[in-house]
């Protein structure tokens, strides 16, 4: 049996690590479900979601040239689209940019630099206030 990207398969969890779960597929082939592909929400401990021996439905998301198979449990579920007001929000309560909208590298870089500078200035302000501000005597 050949494993194709996009196909949905049934498998059994054969092992769990801190970074994901190994799933045995038909014909004894094993693939990995990364911890980020287990559930729609943040997964801190994969053991809260999966156990060895669990039957799961997975979707093949990639097959590498060396034979490694990337799987997803959350993409295997048929998800109805959510109403607009229920979409996830980013920092500061602003709606997140849809993932299919193209953002250039330069835009991402400038956003990162701005956020980084904001965080650094906040840290500096907090540190200076603990030391007594600028120009404080040391004695």
pTM: 0.54
Q: pLDDT of 54-95, one tens digit each? A: 999 999 999 988 889 999 999 888 765 555 555 555 555 556
Q: Which fold has domain 8-72?
A: OB fold (Dihydrolipoamide Acetyltransferase, E2P) (2.40.50)
- State the CB neighbour count (10 A cutoff) for residue 24: 14
Going from N- to C-terminal start, the domains of the chain cover 8-72, 88-130
């Amino acid at each position: 049996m050949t494993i194709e990207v996009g196909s949905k398969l049934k498998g059994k969890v054969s092992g769990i690590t801190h970074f994901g779960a190994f799933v045995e597929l038909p014909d004894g082939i094993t693939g990995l479900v990364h911890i980020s592909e287990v559930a729609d929400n943040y997964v801190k401990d994969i053991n809260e979601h999966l156990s060895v021996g669990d039957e799961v439905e997975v979707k093949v998301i990639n097959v590498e040239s060396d034979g490694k198979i990337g799987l997803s449990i959350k993409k295997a579920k048929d998800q109805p689209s959510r109403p607009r007001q229920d979409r996830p929000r980013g920092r500061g309560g602003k709606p997140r940019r849809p993932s299919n909208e193209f953002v250039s590298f330069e835009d991402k870089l400038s956003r990162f630099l701005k956020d980084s500078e904001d965080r650094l200035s906040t840290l500096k302000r907090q540190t200076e206030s603990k030391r007594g501000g600028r120009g404080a005597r040391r004695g």
